[in-house]
């Protein structure tokens, strides 16, 4: 299996200039390759074949483009092949209903990374510190806050400059070990399966009676708004404007890091704790286009969460199934009768069977039932909702998830 390990680099001022020089040269090469790609007619092959033809022109380019000789060859080749990856990414967005255009040339602010593929990099100890030795570049100190796995093979290293000006190294590794085999569906016990309903007030509500509160980013957003107001008062592209732009970028990065940390730990908990997960297959495109609550929907990053869940389930040998979310809130988990409920109604009360439960808990059980039906799995309980829903909900603060050593959701419930 393939994983990415991200580490902070600590380049000197001269090394920063060299990194920026390599990055900008790769940007210019990317723009040149895109220009050449647009000149080649579609009849000459697939997208990948046409891009490979451009990649094969690199030796001839070096004859008149002196800057390319300063860059390692295994950096130039992936730079050209990025065009094929970007076009494929646009194709996937188009399949999802998004309106997409054509690839455009990259400005210096838009092109922020380059990759050493297969060779040209090495971790080493020099001068009492750990450095990453990069061919034709430098030996750059690296903050190796966690070691790479012993049985991992490093396939590539991507150097990325964040908008804050900080540099990071992302190691793409391949593990020799195979993920554990998934248990047989017929042998999974009822307590080892779970359905998860995601929301905004409560980020995740599962069928085990646990609700995880959403991450509170109020302080970070308030600071971001203050810094953005200050930025609007600066003269565009002045020194003060650039300093303030980095402060705004730091706020955005802080929010992004806190959110991803929360999602990684929560998804890791579910993937390790259970043997079968059922979640909603949400299409957030229309939700984000609505003016009402689009910021909170975007901040929730539900698709990112389910993507992390799927990846971690594959790593842990856990079954993962996505179901159609339509009607999971309206349908009674006990008898199947649908009842219209506006968003502000947070309790489910069935007029047919009399079941009363939390709105999200009812949806979670419907998600689990649909997941089991989709997999063709049946369990002995005729109506598991009757015993599971009335037991109450243990609300777990998001802070418990992001604390060191978390997520310890079961311990948090016991403490509460």
Phi, psi at 230, each rounded to 5°: -65, -40
3 state SS of 167: strand
- The closest alpha carbon to 325, from 157, 195, 178, 182, belongs to 195
pLDDT of residue 73: 93
pLDDT of residue 159: 96
Per-residue pLDDT of the chain (416 residues; tens, 9 = 90+): 788 999 999 999 999 999 999 999 999 999 999 999 999 998 888 999 999 999 999 999 999 999 999 999 999 999 999 999 999 999 988 887 778 888 999 999 899 999 999 899 999 888 889 999 999 999 999 999 988 888 889 999 999 999 999 999 999 998 877 888 888 888 888 888 899 988 888 888 888 888 888 888 889 999 999 999 999 999 998 999 999 999 999 999 999 999 999 999 999 999 998 999 999 988 776 666 666 667 777 777 888 889 999 999 998 899 999 988 887 877 887 777 777 776 676 777 777 776 777 778 888 888 888 888 888 876 544 344 444 444 467 777 877 787 765 665 665 454 44
- The residue with tokens 């199947």 is 336
Helix axes 73-95, 13-39, angle to 10 degrees: 60
Evaluate whether 389 touches 357 at the Cβ level (below 8 Å): yes
- Tens digits of per-residue pLDDT, 1-27? 788 999 999 999 999 999 999 999 999
Q: What is the DSSP letter of 200?
A: S
- The closest alpha carbon to 255, from 165, 164, 169, 167, belongs to 164
- The residue with tokens 């964040």 is 162
pLDDT of residue 239: 94
Interacting residues of 224 by C-beta distance below 8 A, sequence separation 6+: 248, 251, 252, 255
- Tens digits of per-residue pLDDT, 189-201? 888 889 998 888 8
Assessment of whether the complete model's pTM goes beyond 0.75: yes
Preceding amide of 389 cis, omega within 30:
no
> CB burial class (10 A; 0-12, 13-18, 19+) of residue 101?
exposed
Cα torsion 238, 239, 241, 244 to 10°: value is 180
pLDDT of residue 339: 76
């Amino acid at each position: 299996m393939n994983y990415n390990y991200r580490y902070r680099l600590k380049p000197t001022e001269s090394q920063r200039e060299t990194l920026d020089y390599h990055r900008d040269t790769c940007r210019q090469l990317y723009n040149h390759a895109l220009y050449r790609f647009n000149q080649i007619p579609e009849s000459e092959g697939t997208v990948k074949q046409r891009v490979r033809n451009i990649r094969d022109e690199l030796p001839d380019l070096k004859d008149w483009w002196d800057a390319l000789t300063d860059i390692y060859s295994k950096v130039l080749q992936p730079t050209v092949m990025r065009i094929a990856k970007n076009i494929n990414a646009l194709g996937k967005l188009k399949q999802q209903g998004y309106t997409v255009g054509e690839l455009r040339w990259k400005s210096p602010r838009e092109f922020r990374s380059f990759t050493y593929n297969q060779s040209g990099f090495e971790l080493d100890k020099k001068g009492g510190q750990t450095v990453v030795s990069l061919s034709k570049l430098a030996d750059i100190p690296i903050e190796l806050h966690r070691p790479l796995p012993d049985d991992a093979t490093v396939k590539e290293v991507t150097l990325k400059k964040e908008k804050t000006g900080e540099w990071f190294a992302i190691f793409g590794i391949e593990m020799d070990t195979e993920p554990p085999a998934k248990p047989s569906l017929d042998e999974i016990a009822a307590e080892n399966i779970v359905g998860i309903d995601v929301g905004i007030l409560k980020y995740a509500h599962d069928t085990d009676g646990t609700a995880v509160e959403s991450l509170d980013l109020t302080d970070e957003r308030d600071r971001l708004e203050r810094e953005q107001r200050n930025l609007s008062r600066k003269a565009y592209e002045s020194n003060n404007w650039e300093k303030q732009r980095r402060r705004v970028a730091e706020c955005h990065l802080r929010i992004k890091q806190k959110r991803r940390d929360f999602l990684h730990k929560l998804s890791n908990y579910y993937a390790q704790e259970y043997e079968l997960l059922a979640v909603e297959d949400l299409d957030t495109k229309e939700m984000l286009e609505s003016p009402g609550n689009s910021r909170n929907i975007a901040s929730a990053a539900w698709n990112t969460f389910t993507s992390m869940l799927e990846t971690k389930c594959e790593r842990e040998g856990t079954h993962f199934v996505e179901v159609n979310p339509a009607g999971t809130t309206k349908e009674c988990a006990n008898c199947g009768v649908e009842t219209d409920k506006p968003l502000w109604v947070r309790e489910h009360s069935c007029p047919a069977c009399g079941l009363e439960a939390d709105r999200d808990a009812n949806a979670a059980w419907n998600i689990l039932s649909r997941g089991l039906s989709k997999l063709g799995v049946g369990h002995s309980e005729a109506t598991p909702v009757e015993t599971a829903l009335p037991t109450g909900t243990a609300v777990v603060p998001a802070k418990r998830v992001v604390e060191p050593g978390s997520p310890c959701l079961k311990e948090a419930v016991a403490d509460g």
